Amino acid sequence: MNRVELELYLNDTLQIAQFRDYCPNGLQVEGRPEVRKIASGVTASLAFLEAARDWGADAVIVHHGYFWKNEDARVVGMKRRRLGVLINNDINLFAYHLPLDAHPELGNNAQLGKLLGFADDGGRFGPDQLGWLGTPAQPTTLGALAAHVAATLGRTPLMLGDADRDVRRVAWCTGGAQGFFEAAIAAGADVYISGEVSEPTTHLAAESGVGYLAAGHHATERGGARAVGEHIAERFGLEHKFFDLSNPV
C-alpha cells in the first residue's frame, strides 16, 4: 500500500492527536513510497533495524522510536548509525509511544492483560488514564500470580510484598510506569504490575500492603507493536514479521 495511506490509517487508528507525548508519533523517518513488507518490534535499535533490513522490510513499526524531548539533536554516533540503516535502505520508520500504550484493543496494556488472562473491568487510572484495572481469571495470591507472570512472559518478575496476599483486583501499566503505583493503590488494587521499579517503590509496597510486580520494560511491551503489525497485515494484505530481540530489562 501507499506509505501516506498507511500513515493516515495508523495515526487515525491510534488517535495520536489525543496525546501530549515525549516524542513525535507517526512517521519519524520517510522511506520508499510503496509498502509491502512490515517489520515490528519494541525498540528501533540498530540490531532490530539490521534484522528488518535483512528480511527486506519496506517499513518498521515500533513503540520506542527516536527524537525524544531533551535528547541530543545531533546526528552523530549511535543515532547516525541507526538513521543510516533506515535512509540508506529506504525504510520507513513508524513509532507510536503513548498511543500504543493506550489503545483499547491493540495497545500494550490491552495486549498484556489479554496475555495474562485478566478481565478488564473498565477501570482506568493515572495520567491520560493509561493504567488498567481488572480481575484475574480466578482468585489467586501474589506469589502464584508472580509465577504465572514469569511463565507467561519468560522473565521472572521482581516481587514486592507478601507472597500469600490474596489478589482479587489487579492494576497494570506496561513499561516505565512505576510512578503510577500510588494511583493504582488509590484505585483499590491488590497488586500493581509494571515494567520497572524504583527505590521508593519498595517502601510504598511495604507501607501500603499492596503487592508490586516489576515484570520488565521490554517484556511487558512486546504486545502492542506486534498486534498493530498483525492488524495492518491482515487488513491490507501485507506481509508482516515481529522481531523479538532478547532484552533482560
Torsion of CA 239, 18, 215, 41, to 10 degrees: 20
Cβ partners under 8 Å of residue 154, min gap 6: 219
97 is in an annotated binding site: no
* Conformation bin of residue 2: beta by default, left when phi > 0, alpha when psi is -120 to 50: beta
Strands 59-64 and 37-43: parallel
63 is in an annotated binding site: yes
231 is in an annotated binding site: no
Longest pairwise C-alpha distance within the chain: 56
Angle, to 10 degrees, between the axis of helix 3-13 and the axis of helix 223-236?
Answer: 130
Rounded distance between C-alpha atoms, residue 170 and residue 130, angstroms:
14
Report the candidate in 117, 85, 101, 57 with the shortest Cα–Cα distance to residue 223.
101
101 is in an annotated binding site: yes
3-state class (DSSP) for residue 94? strand
Report the candidate in 33, 28, 46, 50 with the shortest Cα–Cα distance to residue 94.
28
Element at 79 (helix H, strand E):
helix 77-88
- Phi, psi torsion values for 76, nearest 5 degrees: -135, 160
The owner of cell 481488572 is: 134
Residues annotated as binding site for a divalent metal cation?
63-64, 101, 217, 221
Which residues are documented as binding site? 63-64, 101, 217, 221
